[in-house]
Structure 1
């Protein structure tokens, strides 16, 4: 019988979060050094949900100690690990290595310092509503769906709960507070799902600032 959503989250929910952090990243953790993906997971989780680290350590170790058989995986009775590039005969050792790093971080209080996100997962974990906004309204299909960036922003504002649009404004301010180079802001927008350029003559940061400035007041044209 397949896992119910509640059972999945109880047994493997935080394990799944750790695995998602490795999508598109190298699983090159060693006993001496965590990977960039695990460091990004630790940094974000320490600063947002520190209590989840104990769950992650437990679920990783339980999965490593009791891996499911192929029949249970085929029946959907167990969480199927995504392919992260680790050979099958090395998965259990790798999971235990991740659990060891998380336990060490918690027991020693070693928290990765705040920094600009370094992985695709971390960008979206830190800026979820901005990712929804950019990926949903500014994909490569945007020119076919809207006459301009202004129309796309107006549609977002008209169809999105005000609490979420307020969250978007906060996330934009947080991103701008990183004080990045314009090339880094362009990369950030791409990581968060934007597939078209900001409207001329605005740089990426200037356009974000304009979107945030005009969200809360009466409608204004946004290029």
Structure 2
């Protein structure tokens, strides 16, 4: 019988979060050094959900010790680890390596320092409402759906709960406070789902400032 959503989360919910952090990233962790993906996971989870780290360590280690067989995977009775670019024979050792790094981080209290997001997953976890806004209203279809950028912003504001709009304004301010170079702001909005250029004559940071002011 396939896993119910509740059973999935109980057994594999935090394991799934760790694996999602590797989207587009190499699984190149070693016993001496965590990968960029795992470092991003640790940084964000320490900041927002530190209690989840122990759950992640337990679920990773348990899965490595008792991997499911092919039949049970086909039946949907176990969480299927997606392809992370490793030979199947190396996955269990890799999961144990991740669990060891997380255990060390929890036991020593060593957490990655605050930093600009470094992975696609981290950008979306750090700026969830901004990702929803840019990906939902400024995809490549935006010119066909709205007269201009302002119309798209107004449509978002009209159909979104005020608390979420306020959250977006806070995330815009947080992104602007990173004080990135303009090419890095262009990369940031692309990572967060924006598929069109800002309106002329604005650079990405200037347009983000304008959006923040328009939504206040």
Specify the SS of the correspondent of 1:195.
coil
CA distance in 1, matches of 2:30, 2:52: 22
CA distance in 2, matches of 1:75, 1:36: 33
Residue 128 of structure 2 is matched in structure 1 by: 128
Residue 13 of structure 1 is matched in structure 2 by: 13
**Could you say what the CA RMSD is over the residues aligned between the two structures, in angstroms?**
0.5
1:175 aligns with 2:180: no
CA distance in 2, matches of 1:166, 1:70: 47
CA distance in 2, matches of 1:210, 1:150: 10
Correspondences of 1:50-89 after superposition (within 5 Å): 50-89=50-89
Post-superposition CA distance 1:146-173 (Å, at most 9, x none):
1100110011011111111111000000
1:148 aligns with 2:148: yes
CA distance in 1, matches of 2:214, 2:194: 19
Residue 139 of structure 2 is matched in structure 1 by: 139
Q: TM-score w.r.t. structure 2 length?
A: 0.99
CA distance in 2, matches of 1:168, 1:10: 30
CA distance in 2, matches of 1:60, 1:86: 16
State the Cα distance separating 1:210 from its structure 2 match.
Answer: 1.0
CA distance in 1, matches of 2:174, 2:9: 30
Which aligned segments of 4 or more residues in structure 1 are displaced greater than 2 angstroms?
none
Residue 201 of structure 1 is matched in structure 2 by: 201
CA distance in 2, matches of 1:123, 1:194: 13
State the Cα distance separating 1:184 from its structure 2 match.
Answer: 0.4
State the Cα distance separating 1:23 from its structure 2 match.
Answer: 1.0
CA distance in 2, matches of 1:55, 1:83: 22
Residue 165 of structure 2 is matched in structure 1 by: 165
Structure 2 runs not aligned, ≥5 long: none
Residue 26 of structure 2 is matched in structure 1 by: 26
CA distance in 1, matches of 2:86, 2:165: 40
Correspondences of 1:182-197 after superposition (within 5 Å): 182-197=182-197
Post-superposition CA distance 1:67-126 (Å, at most 9, x none):
001111000001011111011000100000000000001111111000000000000000
Residue 221 of structure 1 is matched in structure 2 by: none
1:213 aligns with 2:190: no
State the Cα distance separating 1:214 from its structure 2 match.
Answer: 1.8
Residue 42 of structure 1 is matched in structure 2 by: 42
Residue 97 of structure 1 is matched in structure 2 by: 97
CA distance in 1, matches of 2:24, 2:82: 11
Post-superposition CA distance 1:156-200 (Å, at most 9, x none):
011111111111000000101101001100000000000001001
Q: Say how many residue pairs are matched.
A: 216
Specify the SS of the correspondent of 2:83.
coil
